[in-house]
Amino acid sequence: MITSFRLIVALAVFLAPLLLSAQTARLSISLPDSSHRISRHIYGHFAEHLGRCIYGGFYVGEGNDTIPNTDGVRNDIIDALQELQIPNLRWPGGCFADTYQWKDGIGPKDERPEIVNRWWGGVTEDNSFGTHDFLNLCERLGAEPYLAANVGSGTVADLTDWVQYVNYQVKSPMSDLRIENGRAEPWNVKYWGVGNEMWGCGGNMIPEYYANLYRQYATFMTDWTNSDRLYRIASGANVADYHWTEVMMRDIPHNLLEGVALHSYSFVEWNDKGSASDFDEAQYFSTMQTALRMEELVEKHSAIMDKYDPARRVGLIVDEWGGWYQVEPGTNPGFLYQQNTMRDAMIAATTLNIFNNHSERVRMANLAQTVNVLQAVILTNGKDMILTPTYWIMHLYKAHQDADYLPIELDNLTYGFADEELPAISASASRDSTGTVHVTLANIALSETHTVSLAIDGVDLSRATGTILTSDRVQDHNTFDHPERIVPAAFTGMEDGDGGLQLTIPPFSAVVIEIPGS
């Protein structure tokens, strides 16, 4: 009997570490002597002329007496985006960009022609929000403008005139026109998309044709003195079209190319996207599968780019990403208005961690879209405005902007559904200019609370504090009646463990841990 008891005790002592390991994810972070930075531009946004993103979203008109605004742009939106420290804003599309004639949106507003937005709802727009409105908005936000140029239906001359209009200090026909329209100093726009989705709404082109067209447009965008001021971004692949990236990197001289784009959305099924807020676990799992596929996409597109650009001078620009579902009942199908739940928070948290961990190649990304469209950070209804769970993820993660990347090693757990599995924990880390370390983690499991053992050599973890975004149901979301149902709160699931911190993270929750520098 005593022998049996001793055997049981011995087995328990032997098995205890294995059982703990099976139930605990282990996250180790190293502090290298030197590291690249996580570009703040990974935390960019996207504002297309689509639904109520611009008109009825950002822009309510200069004559609006009921909604406080500056030159027609809502003050509450400006304040909210300034709080996010958004680094860049992409405009005017999207598909809209490749039918947009920029000269229709300058000059006296009562003289501007009306247009039909053929891509999104067939609505008529009056061009009252144009180049000056957008670039002045970016100045107020402290964000770099990212202009998407019309290559699909425009001309080389149209684009070169636009560059001249917004960037030239010296006397020229377009700088004179800008001054005539009330702006003396140029805006010095750096980021330019040379077309959008050229494989689709930009013209249904094959990559070899578009690569030659890109070379032509990119050549005439600059003169011989200002080429180093422009960051030209080629229209990139649709999800896993690796041949497209191959052709862009192979056929475009790298002195004409600063970035190659990539577009990928998260959804249940492309032809049956499901509800934004009324979904089951099967739909949640499927959506997270497509979101986490971003890791594979970034790795494989980066490998192709590495072959042609081993020094990684050309950036991978993921300038459209986010969740895409059916529109809210009773709304215009062409307006892409959808609610934003804790599922979207998980998409944002895991995707941003992926970008951070691949930030040697990923230089910019743009969440689609900023206001009232797809995975928006802001929703408006008349004079009311709410901040979505995705907004709060971007708020938690903003500490990574321009911070030094810290390599991680993650011994992960799994989240299973039916006969499939996904990694349950997502994480990334950085150290800012003050020496403060930030670690962002997400537990995507729908019902399991998971423990993460965090170890960072050379860092006093006893000074760590945390913030969490969580809720009772993954379908929970903020509404105009309950705008603060989901907001960040202090994270209390943290205690000293063996050689580090033990973090207890509830299901479908995101956490940021902050450890001050010495």
SS (H, E, C) 240-273: CCHHHHHHHHHHCCHHHCCEEEEEEEECCCCCCC
Angle at 378 between CA 129 and CA 471, to 5 degrees: 175
CB-based contact 100:119 (threshold 8 Å) = no
Angle between helices 131-141 and 156-167 (to 10 degrees): 50
**Strand positions, DSSP E, 4-114:** 24-29, 44-46, 69-70, 73-74, 88-91
Task: Note if the bond before 216 is cis, omega within 30 degrees.
Answer: no
Residue at token pair 């504002």: 47
Annotated catalytic residue within 144, 197, 258, 295: 197
125 is catalytic: no
- Give the SS3 label for residue 406: strand
Encoded amino acid at 267, one letter: F
- Closest to 49 measured CA to CA, from 161, 125, 111: 125
**Strand positions, DSSP E, 310-403:** 315-323, 362-368, 378-381, 384-387
User: What tokens were used for 278?
Assistant: 């009324």
Annotated catalytic residue within 125, 258, 295, 320: 320
Task: Note if the bond before 92 is cis, omega within 30 degrees.
Answer: yes
197 is catalytic: yes
Residues labelled as active-site residues: 197, 320
